[in-house]
Structure 1
Amino acid sequence: MSSASATAPRTPWYQGFLSGLQKMGRSLQVPIAVLPAAGILNRLGQPDVFGADGLGWNNVAKVLAGAGGALLDAGLGLPLLFCVGVAIGMAKKSDGSTALAAVTGFLVYFAVLRQFPVGCSAGQAYTAAGLFSGVCVTPGGTTTAAAYQNPGVFGGIILGLLSAWFWQRFHRTKLVDWLGFFNGRRLVPIIMAGVAIVFASLCVWIWPPIGDALNSFAHWMSGQGAWGAAIFGVANRALLVVGMHQFLNTFMWFQFGSYTTGGVTYTGDIPRFLHGDPTAGQFTSGFFPIMMFALPAAALAIAHTAYPQRRKEIMGLAVSVSLTSFVTGVTEPIEYSFLYVAPLLYVIHAILTGVSMGVTWAFGVHDGFSFSAGVIDYGLNYSLATKPLLIIPIGLVFAVLYYAIFRFAITRFDLKTPGREDEDVDAAIVKD
């Protein structure tokens, strides 16, 4: 049999599945990139900045708080951002029509869910107060805001996936001539309107047990206190290996728990913290010592253990990625520098991240971020945090631990971190 007629080996199903999950994990970064804007706007709108306790510009504070709150809203803002972001990230060669299909589907889904209130108690009657809201009215005329099924960001993610799939499947479809105006890209939003009706109807039926199960798991983890925070920290870094840490983050950071202030309810560790919930921060606080201090120390250890002829080059790289981690909380440049060439170091890193999460929570540190645990978020949210000063000594201790452990492991086990690759040895031998 010739090579031309030979059948190429089929890719195992699990590789395709893993690749899809990794692509989705990257897609989740698209809406998350909006969160710094949400966090800054929300922070500037707080009473101690532009509000009554700060500059006294109350109307300016209202504008800024409203703008940030819209992006962080658990019912509409965040789910819509995730819906559009995932749709754009998952569709091959997507364009504006993908986003339009996602928005169309989401608005239909959102409105359908609002037709089935769940918050009115016995003796109360539901009265619609517009398309997207309503009130529960007692016989005496007292009204309270109605509640609805809220799959939150999970609902947005699923609609984003559906939008991407239907766009890919139908964006080149040709209809009969008299329906030609609706060919291709114009057809997908229409399809998504129908898909969203079906999906919303299913959510009314199946979301309560699913939501209860997820909340039970999250409450169990939260109830473990420092141990729960530590488990989250280890799992977060472990899932980063395959690009799926955002799956875990999404529920804990944007869905779990609730906090009501000013008549508005916020869910998730991050929105709750940014709106003043003193109990929030369990699943964010411990990242500050790691991202601001520990990982830059690890980068320094890698530079110091590089071969002499590469040390200057690696030191320049280490300074760059360390500043990125310290200032912005973006750690992937450091982590990926040793993740695959020295996985032992990454195992140590994942465990110590869990330790940091547990230690900060055990010491009563409550801190959070809008994007990541860098010095920008640390300074911006300092007055919202509880015991934020403790992050500095805790971080310095972890910096010493990371530097000592990384340096010892690299030299003791001859790990091939940047600057210690085999070709450097050969070059050194030739030079001698």
Structure 2
Amino acid sequence: MTTATATAAPTKKWGSGLFQGLQKIGRSLQLPIAVLPAAGLLLRFGQQDIHDKLHLPDKVTSVFATAGGAIFDNLPMLFCIGVAIGFAKKADGSTALAALVGFLVYKNVLTAFPVTDAKIQKGADIAATYNNPGVLGGLVMGLLGAVVWQRFHRTKLVDWLGFFNGRRLVPIIMAFVGTVMGVFFGLVWKPIGEGISHFGEWITGLGAFGAGLFGLINRALIPVGMHQFVNTVSWFQIGDYKTASGTIVHGDLTRFFAGDPTAGQFMSGFFPIMMFGLPAAALAIAHTARPERRAAVMGMMMSMALTSFVTGVTEPIEFTFMFIAPLLYVIHAVLTALSMAITWALGVHAGFTFSAGVIDYILNWNLATKPWLIIPIGLVFAAIYYFVFRFAIVRFNLPTPGREPEEEIEDLTKA
């Protein structure tokens, strides 16, 4: 008989499971967001100024506009499917089908709870209006679809119901989940929606400070992978705009592309940072590398700088100093907030479908207000980033690329 006892499993810290779950949700949001560049391009080529410049036939312009509109109009459904696939472990086509079934049922059930009834008047009929949780509703249904799929996709039923085993069972369950969620949102969305609207009015009412606050929070959450939460709420939920056709769109990004002249508060200030600031920071990192490593680091950092300038993808640069030199990342977050505030205070209204790179900058020039100001603002921030980063790296001897201790380099070369 042994007296040895099994080693107790280490206990997880309180909230670690929740934190990891939120990180996973944040990562899953990247899949539906990735489709936005296609939507933006199609919608842009369907707008009147492009039609006039390129002398496109009316039918061609109409095709582009309706194609891009199809994606923007169905963003809640795309978020539902994308989040379900991204969140569920070992997801497959049945995960997407289950989420889609749940979403379609949920969306139709909402119409059983009209906010205002349809009216027939002389000369014009007024359609009924319904609660519209928008992208948030799609996100909830996608998460539920992923959870239900993971729980039931291997379930075995009795023999006479064997046809509905496993993956075939999940869409059936999701039909009932969609019914319940449709009733739930139909009954309780009004106060929730009003709360989001009031919050949106409050933060947009803060003007430049509100833009700066968003920029600070956005950058602060990138290290933990949760910045997509604030992006989703700000770009697709906050703010309302009624288009010429009478459709109401929500969110800073969707309002911008629908023609709202007041949109862009949560996007404009990223252009000076992504096109100018971070590329200058990359140059500072290369210049402060040790002489024998400077050429190699310069090549690496300049390729990252070009990526940031052209596409607005900044993570390659940010991850070179985010964890090994957190002081630089704090400086970067503060400067991003400052850029967001200054750009908005100067009346710049710009937007993007993918990110704040030169491609989106040029493509959406005619939709923006004072886009030319982004260049001088960006040049100022480029100088600030370069000199502040260079000073901080040298003054505090930060271990940025090319400045690692000799023993680390030896270990890497031996590996």
Is 1:258 matched up with 2:240?
A: yes
1:387-426: per-residue Cα shift (whole Å, max 9, x none)?
A: 1111001001000000000000000001111111123688
Q: 2:189 aligns with which of 199, 207, 217?
A: 207
Aligned ranges 1:234-245 → 2 under 5 Å? 234-245=216-227
- Given that residues 287 and 353 in structure 1 are in contact (C-alpha distance below 8 angstroms), is that contact kept between their aligned partners in structure 2? yes
Runs of 4+ aligned residues of structure 1 deviating over 4 Å after TM superposition are 1-4, 424-427
Partner of 1:40: 41
CA distance in 1, matches of 2:34, 2:333: 24
Find the aligned partners of 2:248 and 2:95 in 1 and give their Cα distance. 30
Match of 1:185 among 145, 167, 175: 167
In structure 2, which of residues 62, 68, 92 is the aligned counterpart of residue 95 of structure 1?
92
CA contact (8 A) 1:307 1:424 kept: no
8 Å CA contact 2:212–2:336 kept in 1: the answer is yes
Q: Is the 8 A contact 1:282 1:361 kept in 2?
A: yes
Tell me: CA distance 1:33–1:367, structure 2 relative to 1, closer, same or farther (3 Å): same
> 1: distance between equivalents of 2:109 and 2:66?
25
Give 2:347's aligned amino acid.
G
Report the CA distance shift for 1:5/1:421 in structure 2 as closer, same or farther (over 3 A). Answer: same
- Which residue number in structure 2 is paired with residue 218 of structure 1? 200
Taking the aligned partners of 2:72 and 2:353, their CA distance within structure 1 comes to 10
Structure-1 separation of matches of 2:80 and 2:291: 50
**AA matched with 2:80:** C
Identity score, percent: 62
1:324 and 2:307 correspond: yes
Q: Name the structure 2 match of 1:85.
A: 82
Give the unaligned 5+ runs of structure 2.
Answer: 411-415
For residues 43 and 407 of structure 2, what CA distance do their matches in structure 1 show?
50
Instruction: Report how far residue 48 of structure 1 moved.
Output: 1.3
Please tell me whether residue 104 in structure 1 is matched to residue 101 in structure 2: yes
CA contact (8 A) 1:47 1:54 kept: no
Give the 5 Å matches for 1:350-429. 350-423=333-406
- 1:21 and 2:22 correspond: yes
Question: Could you report, residue by residue, the CA deviation over 1:132-156 in whole angstroms, capped at 9, with x for unpaired residues?
Answer: xxxx324x57411221101111111
- Deviations along 1:120-177, one digit per CA (max 9) or x if unpaired, are 4xxxxx3xxxxxxxxx324x57411221101111111111110000100000001111
Q: CA deviation at 1:266?
A: 2.0
- Residue by residue over 1:63-97, the C-alpha shift from the partner in whole angstroms, topping out at 9 and shown as x without a partner, is 11111111112xxx110111011100000000000
Alignment of 1:153-172 (within 5 A): 153-172=135-154
Find the aligned partners of 2:224 and 2:195 in 1 and give their Cα distance.
Answer: 25
State the aligned residue count: 408
Match of 2:294 among 307, 311, 319: 311
1:148 and 1:324 mapped to 2: Cα distance?
A: 43
Q: CA deviation at 1:336?
A: 1.1
1:107-186 equivalence runs, <5 A: 107-120=104-117, 126=118, 136-138=119-121, 140=122, 142-186=124-168
Output the amino acid matched with 2:108: A
Aligned 8 A contact 1:330 1:372 in 2: yes
Match of 1:430 in 2: none
- Over the aligned positions, Cα root-mean-square deviation in angstroms equals 1.6
User: Which one of 226, 230, 233 corresponds to residue 212 of structure 2?
Assistant: 230
> C-alpha distance in 1, partners of 2:394/2:207?
37
TM-score by length of 2: 0.95
> In 2, distance between residues paired with 1:7 and 1:373?
50
Amino acid at match of 1:401: I
Say which SS state the counterpart of residue 353 (structure 2) adopts. Answer: coil
Counterpart residue type for residue 376 of structure 2: P
- Of 140-149 and 387-396, more deviation after overlay is shown by 140-149
Q: Distance in 2 between matches of 1:273 and 1:313?
A: 41
Q: Counterpart of 1:143 in 2: which secondary structure?
A: strand
Specify the SS of the correspondent of 1:259.
strand
TM-score, normalised to structure 1's length?
0.91
In 1, are the aligned partners of 2:253 and 2:351 still within 8 Å (CA)?
yes
Contact 2:113–2:187 (8 Å) recurs in 1: no
Give the letter aligned to residue 15 of structure 1.
Answer: S
Q: What is the match of residue 63 of structure 1?
A: 63
- Output the amino acid matched with 2:160: W
